[in-house]
Structures are given as structure tokens and as C-alpha cells.
Structure 1
């Protein structure tokens, strides 16, 4: 019998699963997804290969679990950061900044690459949190338009353009920690792209 180091069996299982997910994330960063095996994950996590299979049937299931875990944590953090901002243009800046930092520190393959290695069913599971992010950004843009901080436009189209710009910008940098100049530039670019205006002190102003 393995020695129980957590207070309960459930806690022990949670600790082991966390070790596996952390090891998988570390390997994605150091080696990438191609060629990665469950044996590699087990070795990095410090557990037996059989133990990994007790939690995840295969690498695809592990990848989905890791992606959902990472994205879920990001959504929680993002909502917390947005709570202190009332102006929709400022909220957009918080959203863009958080996305830039997250996209450059996470080690998940980009969307098209994920689609190529996952089954349709598994890829669809990732859409849950992606849809939640879309909703957050949609609400920010609609509030900006309703309060006349942004000109009326196709919100769904803007959401796609913003996320596409963020992904491309993070990919071009390919760095562990984005510098402030690059983040500030992305914020300004996207705010300008959706039509935000500012006064001489850099504060958002209503239009019309």
C-alpha cells in the first residue's frame, strides 16, 4: 500500500492529479507537444506510469484536462481584476493586458494546432471556457457602445478580431514574460481599433 501523505484519500488523489498536470505543463514548455509521452509525464511528476493512467486514459485526455484547468484559473483571475474597473474602456484595457500576460506564459498549443491533435469531441470541450471569455469581452464592448465610449459596430466581429490580434501578438513575441512596453502597445492598438477616445490626461471620453 502506498503511504498516504494527505489528510484523506480524496486529498491525496487531488495532490497526485495536480502533480501530473503541473508536470505536463512543464514538459509542454520545455519540450513541446510533439513526441511527448505519458511515460515522460510520469517521470517528471515523480509517479508511476500506471498512476498517470489512473487519472487520464491517454495524452489527449490529459491535454484537455490541462487546457481546461489553465483556462479556468485564468477566467477566475480575470473576473477578479475586472471587478475594480467601472469604465468599459478601462475594462477593455484590463482584459487585453490579462490576455497578453496569459498567452505568453501559458504553454498550450495555439487553437489550430489543438484542433489538429484532438478529436472533435475533445476540442469541443475546450469551447466552454473560450465561450466564457467571448462573453466577457462582448459585455465590455456592448457596455462601451451603450455608454457612448465606443462607436456602434459589429460586436461579434470585433471579438474575433481582438482575440486574433492578441494571439498573433503573443506568438510573435514568444517570450516568457511580456515587457510593459509591448503590453501597453497592444492595449493602445486595440483600444484605438474599437474607436475609443481619450482626453489630454489619457482618460476615456464619451463620444457624440
Structure 2
């Protein structure tokens, strides 16, 4: 009989699943998705190949589970950071910074690559958290317009432009530009792009409508 390291079977299963997800993330970071196998994941996690299949039927299911786990944690952390701020322009800066930091360190393939390797049903599951992020950004922009910190504009269009800018900025990452400088520049660029204004001390001010 194998020794149970956790106090209960449920806890043991949770620990094993966590090992598998962490191993998968490590392999995505070091080797990428092409050529990755369930055997690789099992070896890195230190569990039997059969054990991996007990939790995930195939690599696609594992990828979706990992993506949902990572994105869920990111959304929760972002909400916590935003809850401590009232000014919508400051909240926008936190949103942009958090997204870029996540895109810089995340092990997930970008959206188009994910769509190419997942079934439409699996890819749709990822849309839940994407929708949460869109809603967060929409609320920030709408509040900024209502409070006159941002000029009135098409919120849906701005959301698409901002997310497009974030993806482009992350893809331009290189060794010549420190991440902090690139992120700070992107924050200012996006704030200026939506019409935010600042006083001489760099504090957000209301704008003429």
C-alpha cells in the first residue's frame, strides 16, 4: 500500500493535482507546449504516468485546467489590488501594470496559440476569466468617464485597443529594455491614450468634457 503523505485522501488528491499543475507550468516555461507529453509531466511531478491520467484525460484538459488555475489566481490578486484604490486613473494604472507583469512572467501560450491547440469547447472555457478581466476594465473606464477623469468615449472600443496594446508591449520584451521601464512607459502610454490628465505632481485631474 502506498504511504498517504496527506492527512486525508482528499488532501492527498489535492496535493497530487497541485504537483501535476506545477510541473506542467514549469515545463511550459522551460520547454514550451510543442512536443510536451503527459510522460514529461509525470516525470517532472514525480508521479506515475497513470496518476496524471487519473486527473486529466489528455494534454488539452491539463492545459485548460492549468490556464484556469493561473488566470483565476491572477483575477483574484488583481481585484484585491484594485479594491484599495478609488481614483479610476490610478486603478487603470494598476490594471495595466498587473496585466503586463503577468504577461511577462506567465507560462501560458498567447491567446491565438491557445486557440490553435484547443477545441472550440475547451477554448470557450477560458473565456470566463477573460470576460471577468474585460468587465473590470470596462468598469474602470466607465467610472473614469462618469467622474470626469476621462473624456467620454466608446468603452468597448477602448477595451479592445488597451488589450491589444498590452499584448503588443509584452511581445516586444527584450534584454535591452528593463521590464520596469517598459511597463512604466506602457502605463503612461495607455493612460494618455484614453485621455487621462495629470497635475504638476503627477496626480490625476478631471478633464474638460
TM-score by length of 1: 0.97
Contact 2:173 2:179 survives alignment (8 Å): no
| Uncovered stretches (5+) of structure 1, i.e. residues with no partner | none
Contact 1:56 1:62 survives alignment (8 Å): yes
Alpha-carbon distance in structure 2 between the residues aligned to 1:50 and 1:76: 32
Alpha-carbon distance in structure 1 between the residues aligned to 2:110 and 2:174: 12
SS at match of 2:57: coil
Q: Which moved more, 1:55-64 or 1:165-174?
A: 165-174
2:60 is the alignment partner of 1:65: no
Alpha-carbon distance in structure 2 between the residues aligned to 1:5 and 1:51: 15
Alpha-carbon distance in structure 2 between the residues aligned to 1:180 and 1:51: 41
Contact 2:149 2:207 survives alignment (8 Å): yes
Alpha-carbon distance in structure 1 between the residues aligned to 2:3 and 2:29: 31
Contact 2:93 2:191 survives alignment (8 Å): yes
How many equivalent pairs are there?
207
| Cα displacement string for residues 16-68 of structure 1 (whole angstroms, at most 9, x for unaligned residues) | 00000000000000000000000000000000000000000000000000000
Alpha-carbon distance in structure 1 between the residues aligned to 2:53 and 2:64: 14
Find the counterpart in structure 1 of residue 90 from structure 2.
Answer: 90
SS at match of 1:35: coil
SS at match of 1:173: coil
Alpha-carbon distance in structure 1 between the residues aligned to 2:174 and 2:5: 39
Runs of 4+ in 1 over 3 A off after TM superposition: none
Q: Which moved more, 1:179-188 or 1:28-37?
A: 179-188
| Cα displacement string for residues 112-157 of structure 1 (whole angstroms, at most 9, x for unaligned residues) | 1100000000000000000000000000000000000001111011
- What is the aligned-residue RMSD (CA, Å)? 1.2
Alpha-carbon distance in structure 1 between the residues aligned to 2:71 and 2:28: 15
1:70–1:59 distance in 2 versus 1, CA, 3 Å: same
Alpha-carbon distance in structure 1 between the residues aligned to 2:22 and 2:50: 17
Find the counterpart in structure 2 of residue 15 from structure 1.
Answer: 15
SS at match of 2:33: coil
Aligned-residue offset at 1:179: 2.5
Aligned-residue offset at 1:174: 5.7
Contact 1:104 1:174 survives alignment (8 Å): no
SS at match of 2:172: helix
Q: How does 1:1-208 map to 2 (within 5 A)?
A: 1-173=1-173, 179-208=179-208
Aligned-residue offset at 1:171: 1.4
Alpha-carbon distance in structure 2 between the residues aligned to 1:3 and 1:93: 49
Alpha-carbon distance in structure 2 between the residues aligned to 1:171 and 1:33: 17
| Uncovered stretches (5+) of structure 2, i.e. residues with no partner | none
TM-score by length of 2: 0.97
